[in-house]
Chains A and B, each alone.
Chain A
């Protein structure tokens, strides 16, 4: 880690001690949760080039598993987290293996379909999910007698996990699996000619990426205590892909920063102290427009050769002739 990264990490962990109010801490905790999800997607989409429009569903599977196990069955927190991550990883694997046959836009559509199926399931499997009313009373994270029930401790937990995941992802990217992922993003035949097992890399990237989303889901459920199906819909999946697109290919920091910005945009009222309620709501109302315009604008600008910073890799092949 460079000194800049250490300073950034210390700064992030110091926030609760600087007298931030409860609401702001909560919002920043959501940013931490979203950082975890987008990190997985950055590995999968930004590095390995495999698009997923179903990450909100993995996030939801993690959240519902953890919530159900700890509130309905009364299992300890750590067990619930482990089960959530395990189950989401299995779900990721189960989507990735048949998904190997699909490329580009077909994979996008298939994962989108998966997200919609899970959205239906979250609403209809009332016995486990509470249907549209959601699932409440999820206990705070606790190990033995120690319970994390203050906004500051929850913030530290979520960001602690997110920072560990960031360091782990940065290591993956720099090492052999990361190079394999970049290689198959550039050219699949080339990658297999170099002896890379393309299918295996894809499946592992997908599984890891889903597991990270599941971990984020579990943390989210125990942090807010109440979950409902609308959180895990297409909108979030699309927002995540938008963050990776805006953050740039082959970058971890880019998507994380972009996702943080997109998340904070929705809670502008918490960030700018003097902002009136009306102004904050107006901004919130226009978030999809801002995101949509930015995505379209940035992609058009990039395809016309505009680069914010140098980027390796060959240009993609033309699709529209």
Chain B
């Protein structure tokens, strides 16, 4: 295998890895502030792609369409928290998770009613031939994917480290009760993390749609892979989520390059099961101190 081939696989690994990282960030933010695994995260991804496709078809300029899709999905995330999860907050984590499963059924079905059952295409963010990077031909959209993921990661770091909301989110991830004692409106923080998760998922869905196409039923599998990335990096750890996403993307394209492409979609899931069973705190996570 030549260096150029190898770089090609690294590029496709990075592209998928960036998407997984965005999804994993969505899972991790919600988990950190609520202890809930949000099954609807995959549907946020689907909504991002489908909304952009629908908006572009209706004549909205692409940039505006992406912004609109991200904003709308963030609103959907906030609404799910407010009207489906908050009323049931007193029950156990498993109940809340099944509620998010119900929500994901609703979102998927709503998307089918609204946008139809067919695959939808989204135009590339910038026209032009693939760019040569060190001998490998990389599609321009891949640069968008990686670039926007980096941008989102930086924005999130700023939010988490240096804003009041970020401080409140970190407090909630330590203890809700303690956060409330010092005057943090925990309900608002939880809602904000769902909105952020929606925005991240939608961004992932919108930015990758030009490469992969999109459809109403792409959410579940992407959700699982994003969750695999989050677990790989250590659930609840934003840096881990990004590392986990990139590692997972590279592992997947490595498996395609060196083994076979037939079971590409199973790689992430096998990784998920192995990590859950062997090292549930993730590759960069600390020991959790309790059995999962």
- Residues 83-119 of B, flagged 1 when their CB comes within 8 A of A and 0 if not, give 0111111111111111101111110111001000000
| Nearest chain B residue, comparing its CB with the CB of A287 | B109
Hey, which chain B residues are within 8 Å of A296, CB to CB? 84, 99, 102-103, 106
Interface membership of A113, Cβ < 8 A: yes
Hey, which chain A residues are within 8 Å of B113, CB to CB? 285, 289
Q: Are A289 and B109 in contact, CB atoms less than 8 angstroms apart?
A: yes
Q: Are B101 and A101 in contact, CB atoms less than 8 angstroms apart?
A: no
Interface membership of B185, Cβ < 8 A: no
Q: Are A102 and B292 in contact, CB atoms less than 8 angstroms apart?
A: yes
Q: Are A300 and B88 in contact, CB atoms less than 8 angstroms apart?
A: yes
User: B96: which of A98, A103, A116, A319 is its contact (CB, 8 Å)?
Assistant: A319
Interface membership of B145, Cβ < 8 A: no
Docked CA distance A72–B97 (Å) = 42
Docked CA distance A320–B175 (Å) = 10
Hey, which chain A residues are within 8 Å of B12, CB to CB? none
Hey, which chain B residues are within 8 Å of A103, CB to CB? 291-292
Hey, which chain A residues are within 8 Å of B228, CB to CB? 113
Which of B17-25, B122-130, B267-275 lies at the interface with chain A?
A: B267-275
Residue among A124, A300, A315, A316 with most chain B CB within 10 A: A300
Interface membership of A74, Cβ < 8 A: no
Q: Are A105 and B221 in contact, CB atoms less than 8 angstroms apart?
A: no
Q: Are B92 and A299 in contact, CB atoms less than 8 angstroms apart?
A: no
Q: Are B105 and A241 in contact, CB atoms less than 8 angstroms apart?
A: no
Hey, which chain A residues are within 8 Å of B35, CB to CB? 319-321
**Min distance, Cβ B260 to any Cβ of chain A, angstroms:** 10
Q: Are B94 and A300 in contact, CB atoms less than 8 angstroms apart?
A: no
User: A116: which of B34, B90, B269 is its contact (CB, 8 Å)?
Assistant: B269
Q: Are B98 and A245 in contact, CB atoms less than 8 angstroms apart?
A: yes
Docked CA distance A124–B229 (Å) = 24
Q: Are A292 and B227 in contact, CB atoms less than 8 angstroms apart?
A: no
Residue among A105, A303, A318 with most chain B CB within 10 A: A105
Given known A-B contacts A299-B99, A300-B87, A321-B177, A113 and B224 have beta carbons under 8 A apart? yes
Q: Are B93 and A109 in contact, CB atoms less than 8 angstroms apart?
A: no
Total number of residue pairs linking A and B with CB closer than 8 Å: 167
Interface membership of B246, Cβ < 8 A: no
Interface membership of A112, Cβ < 8 A: yes
User: A295: which of B98, B109, B280 is its contact (CB, 8 Å)?
Assistant: B98
| Nearest chain B residue, comparing its CB with the CB of A51 | B94
Interface membership of A117, Cβ < 8 A: yes
Interface membership of A311, Cβ < 8 A: no
**Min distance, Cβ A74 to any Cβ of chain B, angstroms:** 28
Q: Bin the interface of chain A by size.
A: 35 or more
Interface membership of A234, Cβ < 8 A: yes
Q: Are B102 and A293 in contact, CB atoms less than 8 angstroms apart?
A: yes
Q: Are A319 and B273 in contact, CB atoms less than 8 angstroms apart?
A: no
Interface membership of A190, Cβ < 8 A: no
| Nearest chain A residue, comparing its CB with the CB of B172 | A321
Docked CA distance A110–B266 (Å) = 13
- Residues 136-160 of B, flagged 1 when their CB comes within 8 A of A and 0 if not, give 0000000000000000000000000
Residues of A that sit less than 8 Å from B by CB? 51, 98-99, 101-106, 108-110, 112-114, 116-117, 120-121, 124, 234, 238, 241-242, 245, 285-286, 288-289, 291-293, 295-296, 299-300, 302-304, 315-321
28 contacts between A and B (CB under 8 A): A99-B277, A101-B291, A102-B280, A102-B292, A103-B291, A104-B97, A104-B292, A106-B292, A109-B224, A109-B227, A113-B224, A113-B228, A113-B273, A116-B269, A120-B265, A120-B269, A124-B262, A245-B98, A291-B102, A296-B99, A315-B92, A316-B92, A316-B95, A319-B92, A319-B93, A320-B34, A320-B36, A321-B35
* Nearest 9 A/B pairs, CB to CB: A316-B92, A321-B176, A319-B93, A292-B105, A303-B91, A295-B102, A288-B109, A292-B106, A303-B88
